[in-house]
Structure 1
Amino acid sequence: MIGLVLAAGAGRRLRPYTDTLPKALVPVDPAGEGTTTVLDLTLGNFAEVGLTEAAIVVGYRKEAVYERKAALEKAYGIELTLVDNDKAEEWNNAYSLWCARDVLREGVILANGDTVHPVSVERTLLGARGAGRRIILALDTVKELAEEEMKVVTDGPKGVRRITKLMDPATATGEYIGVTLIEPEAAADLADALKTTFERDPDLYYEDGYQELVNRGFTLDVAPIGDVPWVEIDNHDDLAKGREIACLY
């Protein structure tokens, strides 16, 4: 099991930071000096649960990640592999995750490069392994949902039935927070579903690839994360929340 971070996105709503940085390297330290980024927090979580290797999918402003690679490896004791997404500024993240299809074969904890979350999320996913579960999504069942969230409907042992932003929040079981445990035996099925997804529409999310799997009869499980502080950083309001949360870790 290794770590995997999707860090190819531009995050244009976070300008001026993202004029020169990918979203994963936007500073979340209180002073905004860049001593701590979302990528730092995620790699720190990976290290804390015992992972010693991680891959990072890079694209937009990837040179900034390449420049920090050695320092990140030294800081967190994790050997990093950078995977280039050649369409990061054209296509959505279904393609981005597909770019890491070879990495998926090793089994991964996948984390979006814009999700600030505590290490308890990774521990919850690792604790949910076994009993034939091949893909386990971290699910917030506490937060009050609105239109923008990636919402999930589950059905007991059948697992995920729907995953999309485009549903009535009142019908959702919870919100997918952007962290998933993917076992090696799920790699081929997921890669094929992702390929089908971005070939249908390159603007689709990798969560649409998850839905493709569900439609094919594949069981996706969930692990509720409890009442823990986390945020997906899309804009400057989210960034302010991310800095408040980062102080807690």
Structure 2
Amino acid sequence: MKAIILAAGMGTRLRPVTLTMPKPLVPVANKRLIEYALDVLKDAGLTDIGVVVNDMDSPIREQLGTGEDLGVEITYIAQEERNGLAHAISLCKDFVGDSNFCVFLGDVIFQDHMQSLLKNFESSDYEAQIALGEVPDPTRFGIAVIEDDLIKGVVEKPKDPPSNLAIAGIYLFRPSIWDAIAKIKPSWRNELEITDAIQELITAGHKVAPYVVEGWWIDAGKPDPIVTANQLVLESLPYSIPPEDKCEGNSDVSHRVIVGENSKIIDSVVRGPVIIGDNTIIRNSYIGPYTSLGDDVVIEGSEIEYSIVMNNCEIRNISGRIDRSLLAHNARVTRTEQPPQSHRFVLAENSYVEM
């Protein structure tokens, strides 16, 4: 069985970070978002993967390459005009051929690796199977209507929700989906909606089954969900002893602190879970829980927690604590003579903030 990862979106909800970086490359716990999808697929034995990008010059293609270093084989498919999920999937027909296949949204991250779903679909009598996740406010989502353990339809943002199970971003299809996509018309958004194609399967009498995701799942399309995903992934870090060999001076570092090569913690306090990349220097600072620092980062005279700091960033002499922030590559945050009491940043690449 083959797999498709949809990664052609413009990431408008995550701007300004995505002005210079595709959303699937945003790091969560120092691993690119799209790699979490690749890990789930690879664990299930799905290693022949098509990645839909907005053009063949996408940085995603540049960074992932053939996929050999990640243990998969990647074929790139360009969706130069973004006309909906069903349109993106239709572009993969030649890649998929006559096989069954999985579709995975490239900006969703799951605690559940869904191995039973991915491994058992081919031997089932379902024409399609859809991952569903519980949501606290089902009036804001497309909610599945379930009868007799099958999906009978999807209701968009219902005033009176039939359940609290929203479509979570993983779909398994047989080749019949191609005819279903060919029959649908553009929605009011002028897009070909995959939910309409799924309804075509149901109307034709095919079985479409639900799979309820276990644990947390995050649609990481905005800064706050990205930071929350980072927290949840770091929470799962196993116990590890404090990295005393990385500490100098009067430093106090807890367990569950992962430190990369050539990185140093100098006269600082670090409270895990925290992950620190390579060649990063922390001096006279406090790094609080649920923080990810990339490679070649400098934190000096500052406090930060519950945040993501990407590669080559500098934070120096900030008074007050930086909290729940997202700093893209090469961002610089420094202090002026009269700093404010608190700070929150969502910065694009090469940003410079002086305070």
Q: TM-score, normalised by structure 1?
A: 0.83
Structure having the larger proportion of residues in strand = 2
2 CA distance for matches of 1:209 and 1:17? 33
Deviations 1:192-249 (A, max 9, x none): 22233355663243222212322333221112223x1111122112112221233337
Q: CA deviation at 1:22?
A: 2.4
1:241 aligned residue: 228
Matches within 5 A, 1:164-183: 164-168=155-159, 170-172=161-163, 174-182=165-173
Count residues with an aligned counterpart. 234
Q: CA deviation at 1:56?
A: 0.6
SS in structure 2 at match of 1:24: helix
2:142 paired with 1:161:
no
1:93 aligned residue: 85
Deviations 1:14-58 (A, max 9, x none): 0122112222222223xxxxx412211111111122222111111
* Contact 1:151-1:164 at 8 Å conserved across structures: yes
Letter in 2 for 1:106: S
* Contact 2:218-2:225 at 8 Å conserved across structures: yes
SS in structure 2 at match of 1:106: coil
* Contact 2:138-2:165 at 8 Å conserved across structures: no
Matches within 5 A, 1:78-157: 78-88=72-82, 91-104=83-96, 105-127=98-120, 129-140=122-133, 142-157=134-149
1 CA distance for matches of 2:27 and 2:111? 17
Give structure 2 stretches of 5+ with no counterpart: 238-355
2 CA distance for matches of 1:64 and 1:129? 33
Letter in 1 for 2:141: E
1:17 aligned residue: 17
2 CA distance for matches of 1:198 and 1:192? 13
2 CA distance for matches of 1:16 and 1:162? 36
Matches within 5 A, 1:21-36: 21-29=21-29, 35-36=30-31
* Contact 1:3-1:51 at 8 Å conserved across structures: yes
2:45 paired with 1:54:
no
Q: CA deviation at 1:177?
A: 0.8
Letter in 1 for 2:7: A
2 CA distance for matches of 1:66 and 1:127? 30
Identify the match of residue 67 of structure 1 among 41, 58, 62.
62
Deviations 1:136-173 (A, max 9, x none): 11122x4433333221011115x211124232363126
2 CA distance for matches of 1:101 and 1:210? 16
Residue 129 to residue 165, structure 1, CA distance change in 2 (3 Å): same
Letter in 2 for 1:94: A
Residue 178 to residue 39, structure 1, CA distance change in 2 (3 Å): same
* Contact 2:100-2:122 at 8 Å conserved across structures: no
Residue 246 to residue 120, structure 1, CA distance change in 2 (3 Å): same
Residue 101 to residue 37, structure 1, CA distance change in 2 (3 Å): same
Larger radius of gyration: 2
Residue 51 to residue 109, structure 1, CA distance change in 2 (3 Å): same
Q: Specify which structure has the bigger relative contact order, considering alpha-carbon pairs within 8 angstroms and separated by 6 or more residues.
A: 1
* Contact 1:145-1:169 at 8 Å conserved across structures: no
2 CA distance for matches of 1:18 and 1:166? 27
* Contact 2:90-2:181 at 8 Å conserved across structures: yes
Letter in 2 for 1:154: I
* Contact 2:44-2:118 at 8 Å conserved across structures: no
Give structure 1 stretches of 5+ with no counterpart: 30-34
Q: CA deviation at 1:86?
A: 2.3
1 CA distance for matches of 2:71 and 2:88? 25
Letter in 2 for 1:25: L
Structure having the larger proportion of residues in helix = 1
Identify the match of residue 191 of structure 1 among 168, 178, 191.
178
1 CA distance for matches of 2:218 and 2:26? 14
* Contact 1:95-1:198 at 8 Å conserved across structures: no
